[in-house]
Amino acid sequence: MCFDDRYLWPWAMTIATAKKHADRDFRCFVANANGLLTEEGKSEARRIATALDVNLEIQDFEVPVGEYSRNQWNATVYARLRMMDELTDDFLWLDSDLIIRPGWCELFDLGAAALADDSTIAVAVRDRQQMIDILRARGNNAAFTAAGDQYFNSGILYVRPSRWQATDYPTQWPQLVRDEASYGFTIVDQDVLNYLLAGQMAFFPGEFNRIISDPMMGNEKVWHYAGAPKPWRIEGDMRGFYMAVETINLDRPAHRITDGGSAYSMYPRYWEAEAEVLATIAARDQVLADDLWRRRDGQMLTLSRAQKAKWAIMRLAARQWR
């Protein structure tokens, strides 16, 4: 995994739910990309791991993308490629915006089985059909051109680094990052990986990386809170406005904030999990729990003027309907 100080709370959510539903011991290896996880952040991550009884190792990595900044992304998104360059053991990459569910540890067995094919470098879940349709319609993304319908989401990735290192990909990918605009890349590391690994991938079933803006099937092992807004950044009026817009537009997916699917029901599931994880940490370290909650509160989104007006109208209408 890799994250910066901003993602300490969602990382705690991911790793806490992984620990809760693990059927075996595991080690959490965190890459600190270009120092973006500060010394204070490292200390807090270690305290979180102690409170959750998670075996944690943090290692500094220099990710050769300079002071990369694009939308919400920075150099942390390329850490998985740098880990592929340098690590020797197979590893399972997890994004830090996941809720892990029972059965997730099957990823280790399924990944190892898929890598029995010598031509396979990594294993992932194919991306949601909506994303594939968008990329096909745009027609200018070289990663999609290479991967086609086997275009994958990089939020869950099982990797054999030795096979990656036997190619020239470790020298290719930093140049692809520098030239990403000319390749039509829009999903940063994911596009780079799809471009390079086309034809050298195997695939997990979809329940191991279910994007929450897709309909839920009930068998999901991983909920992936991809996109925006992130549920840990919504509180108060913003939460009420968000839930109202999502619910009113159940039959009009294009008008929803999160672009349709099951997000209106899955965000409350995240908030329920937050309360449970916070209580687990507080039972071991109340000061840490308070620090984490303050850190989370410091990242809250606020309603724009137009959103405040809409929210006021919706609340007034709701009172009249009662």
pLDDT given for residue 265 in this prediction: 85
Which residues are CB-contacts of 212 (< 8 A; sequence separation ≥ 6)? Answer: 223, 224, 225, 226, 258, 261, 262, 263, 266, 267
pLDDT given for residue 318 in this prediction: 75
The alpha carbon torsion through 224, 230, 234, 238 (nearest 10 deg) reads -110
pLDDT given for residue 256 in this prediction: 73
pLDDT given for residue 227 in this prediction: 84
Of residues 5 and 228, which shows the higher confidence score?
5
Which residues are CB-contacts of 272 (< 8 A; sequence separation ≥ 6)? Answer: none
In a domain? residue 91: yes
Q: How far apart are CA 283 and CA 106, in angstroms?
A: 30
Q: CB of 209 within 8 A of CB of 126?
A: no
User: In terms of residue numbers, what domain contains 310?
Assistant: 229-321
Residues 205 and 233 in one domain: no
Closest Cα partner for 26 from 59, 61, 60, 57?
Answer: 57
Confidence of residue 90 (pLDDT cuts 50, 70, 90): very high
**Number of structural domains found in the chain:** 2
Q: pTM (2 decimals)?
A: 0.94
In a domain? residue 96: yes
Please state, rounded to an integer, the average pLDDT across all residues of the chain. 94
In a domain? residue 219: no
- H or E segment to which residue 61 belongs: strand 55-61
Q: What is the largest CA-CA distance in the chain?
A: 68
Confidence of residue 314 (pLDDT cuts 50, 70, 90): confident
pLDDT given for residue 158 in this prediction: 98
Residues 202 and 294 in one domain: no
Residues 120 and 35 in one domain: yes
Which range is least confidently modeled, 175-189, 241-255, 289-303? Answer: 241-255
Q: How far is CA 210 from the centre of its chain?
A: 11
The pairing of strands 152-159 and 122-126 is antiparallel
Residues 161 and 261 in one domain: no
Q: How far apart are CA 191 and CA 54, in angstroms?
A: 31
In a domain? residue 216: no
Segment 239-263 shows an average pLDDT of 77
Q: CB of 90 within 8 A of CB of 115?
A: yes
Segment 202-223 shows an average pLDDT of 94
In a domain? residue 217: no
* 260 has pLDDT over 70: no
Residues 95 and 19 in one domain: yes
Residues 200 and 236 in one domain: no
pLDDT given for residue 179 in this prediction: 96
pLDDT given for residue 259 in this prediction: 62
Q: What is the pLDDT of residues 93-144, one digit of tens each?
A: 999 999 999 999 999 999 999 999 999 999 999 999 999 999 999 999 999 9
